[in-house]
Chains A and B, each alone.
Chain A
Amino acid sequence: MINSPWNDGIREFVLAIADDEHLMGQQHAEWIGVAPFLEEDLAFCSIGQDELGHAATLYAIVAGSGNPDGVDDRSLDALAFDPDPNRWRSSHLVEIATPGWAHALVRHWLYDTTEQIRWELVADSTLTPLAEAAVRAEREEWFHRRHADSLLDALLASADAGSRIRSALVDLFPLAMGLFVPVEGEAEAVATGVTAAPLNTRLPEWIDQVQQRFVIDSLPNNETAPVDRTTRSDAFEPLLSRMREVLDLDAAAIW
């Protein structure tokens, strides 16, 4: 690893992406066995696995202070299952428990289209392992988007399903806007070339994309400003305890 930039700001920036990927993967994977039909059950969980893989790659970059080579699994677990809520930098969109399949699907689309922009911005990152992760991620992400779009194409064509999808969008859109709130450390990441530009410079184009996708003229007004990533939502604690369920059975166990 030659002269990859690294400082506290860049760490915050990468950690935020890692936490999003991890919690999104966890949330998708929780549909195993209960998705609307068997084939979708497999597909959605498989997509969740991909996101967990991206999270592991990013946590390794964080744990190795910019150099993931030789980082051991325990260091990844220490980040991925950290019981201290203050260490987390996830967006609230990936923390909340969705009330049903329509919300899970809409979140999948909102997250993956935002993620596409985020990976594009780091595709030529000066932080080489991050640029490599972006290449790897896009090999999988095009399929995630096709999966979400295919399902939405089918469901938006029906009156009943379409109205459920749009009402899920109304609920989730303000939270999805939270993905674009500048991450602490983003300015340093931009200054050092770790990312090409602040994510919210791409917000207008993404909002157009949302409107076209859901064939909706006006998106819900942001009455409350989206929260930043230093505060946890109410849904975070239960989610973390689900993730730590086995670990917490026996804190002294050696894995």
Chain B
Amino acid sequence: MRRYEVFLKKDGRDEYRHAGSLDAPNDELALVLARESYLRRAEGDRLWLVDRAHLVTGSPEFVAPNADKPHRHNDGEQIAERRRRIRNLKKNDT
């Protein structure tokens, strides 16, 4: 058995979304079985199946260091604060 990740897409501009996974012995049976396991109620009209063996994965150890870089998070608060300060200074000048 191989394990496949199932992605479904509804009509229109929606992106493909992960719906779950399934076991099947080959690609053809994966298609057949995904249709009945994930699309019986017309949950999508397009289907991607990815054999899990073909996924390129990044482990937590590889990804985690980027969790400690607050300077890469710009929520605009500091800029807003700076502009507020300058505006107030100008107001005081007049």
| Residue from A39, A47, A143, A146 in contact with B24 in the complex, judged by beta carbons closer than 8 Å | A39
Q: How far is the CB of B78 from chain A (nearest CB, A)?
A: 52
What B residues does A38 contact at CB under 8 A?
23, 37
What B residues does A43 contact at CB under 8 A?
32-33, 35-37
Residue among A37, A47, A150, A154 with most chain B CB within 10 A: A150
In angstroms, Cα B33 to Cα A151, docked, is 10
Q: Is the CB of A37 within 8 A of B36?
A: no
Given the contacts A46-B36, A146-B32, A150-B32, A39 and B25 also touching, CB distance less than 8 Å: no
Which residues of chain B from 1 to 34 have any CB-CB distance to chain A below 8 Å in the complex?
1, 22-26, 28-29, 32-34
Number of interface residues of A (CB under 8 A): 15
Given the contacts A37-B1, A146-B32, A154 and B25 also touching, CB distance less than 8 Å: yes
In angstroms, Cα B22 to Cα A37, docked, is 10
Q: Is the CB of A154 within 8 A of B23?
A: no
Given the contacts A37-B1, A37-B23, A42 and B37 also touching, CB distance less than 8 Å: yes
Q: Is the CB of B28 within 8 A of A40?
A: no
Which residues of chain A from 73 to 116 have any CB-CB distance to chain B below 8 Å in the complex?
none
What A residues does B29 contact at CB under 8 A?
150-151, 154
Q: How far is the CB of A31 from chain B (nearest CB, A)?
A: 13
Q: How far is the CB of B8 from chain A (nearest CB, A)?
A: 16
Which A residue sits closest to B26, measured CB to CB? A154
What A residues does B91 contact at CB under 8 A?
none
Q: Is the CB of A40 within 8 A of B33?
A: yes
30 contacts between A and B (CB under 8 A): A37-B1, A37-B23, A38-B23, A39-B22, A39-B24, A39-B33, A39-B34, A39-B36, A39-B37, A40-B33, A42-B33, A42-B37, A42-B40, A43-B32, A43-B33, A43-B35, A43-B36, A43-B37, A46-B36, A46-B40, A143-B32, A146-B32, A147-B32, A150-B28, A150-B32, A151-B29, A153-B28, A154-B25, A154-B26, A154-B29
Q: B interface vs A, CB < 8 Å? A: 1, 22-26, 28-29, 32-37, 40
